[in-house]
Structure 1
């Protein structure tokens, strides 16, 4: 027997009763979507400035324990009172101290660089220790992508494959 056609009270019956109106709605959505897409500002590499500073001080010929007591701890105490500071950590290696300062996201890093520089220069360092360097992380210098290749070929063949 023949199946009964759906009645006009069906949920999607309007699509068959008013095809021109549905076509206009679909076209309007497409046009609004295209206009919105054109106005969307999207950068492939947006300008991101991480609110971190690293204070690196070198003291050649010293053990990590000496670097910690003579450089890292005094620098942490001096720099720990900088405003907008979220976290401070230090790494003491043989002959080198790195103090990493993390700030709030909306902090003006130029002002904070000046303030950190002034506080680091005020600190009395032992003889033989070099002047502290202030380093800023720049994410635009990092590669966009890293690719690793491996296989049964020798290194020259893999390098040729990667470059061509």
Structure 2
């Protein structure tokens, strides 16, 4: 089969029929059906293999690379929580190496502090250092409970399901 190239458009055409000649990977696959079928079989077998071996969870757990500190202070106003707990904890953990950002929340009856780790920081080492710094604080009010220091691991929502219909409430 011979071919011509149109000088104005650069399109390759068949010399006998004058039809544009198809080139590229799709044309190659159309001309080599054994290779196309072999590639399809490899993709199907690989997909089935991965489908049966991939870990599947409805609520996957993942590490946020952060350490949380919560302190209950029953009956205290947010101002009392800030002055009695938050300022002391923020000051104590400010110098800990590996913290990117500290977020603190004072609410009625308690405090919550989130220390975001820098990327590449060993979260267990950071947890240990923060816990030891918080345990050294001696200025907490007597009514405040023991601080709870933990590595934040949350389950994120992957699937939301709503059921509805005509049913009598009982």
What TM-score, normalized by structure 1, do the two folds share? 0.71
Q: Which runs of 4+ in 1 moved over 3 A?
A: 5-9, 15-19, 34-42, 148-156
Q: Is residue 2:134 matched to residue 1:87?
A: no
Counterpart mapping for 1:10-49 below 5 A: 10-11=21-22, 22-34=32-44, 36-37=46-47, 38=49, 42-45=54-57, 48-49=62-63
- C-alpha change, 1:10 and 1:27, in structure 2 (3 Å) is same
1:64-88, Cα deviation, whole Å (9 max, x unpaired): 1010111112211211222221211
CA change 1:59–1:53 in 2 (3 A) is same
Number of equivalenced pairs: 148
- Equivalent residue, structure 2, for 1:159: none
Taking a change above 3 Å as real, the CA distance of residues 6 and 79 of structure 1, as seen in their structure-2 partners, is farther
* Structure 2 Cα separation of the partners of residues 152 and 17 of structure 1: 57
What's the secondary structure of 1:110's corresponding residue?
helix
3-state secondary structure, aligned to 1:51: strand
- RMSD (Å), alpha carbons: 3.3
Name whichever structure is richer in strand by fraction. Answer: 2
Structure (1/2) with the larger helix percentage:
1
Q: TM-score, normalised by structure 2?
A: 0.69
Partners in 2 of 1:16 and 1:101 — Cα distance? Answer: 57
**Contact preservation (8 Å) 1:89, 1:101:** yes
Q: Is the 1:88–1:99 contact (alpha carbons within 8 Å) kept by the matching residues of 2?
A: yes
Structure 1 gap segments, 5+ residues each = 157-164
Q: Which residues in structure 2 correspond to 1:100-119 (within 5 Å)?
A: 100-119=114-133
Contact 1:50 1:105 in 2 (8 A): no
Provide the C-alpha distance between the structure 2 equivalents of 1:53 and 1:82, rounded to a whole number of angstroms.
Answer: 12
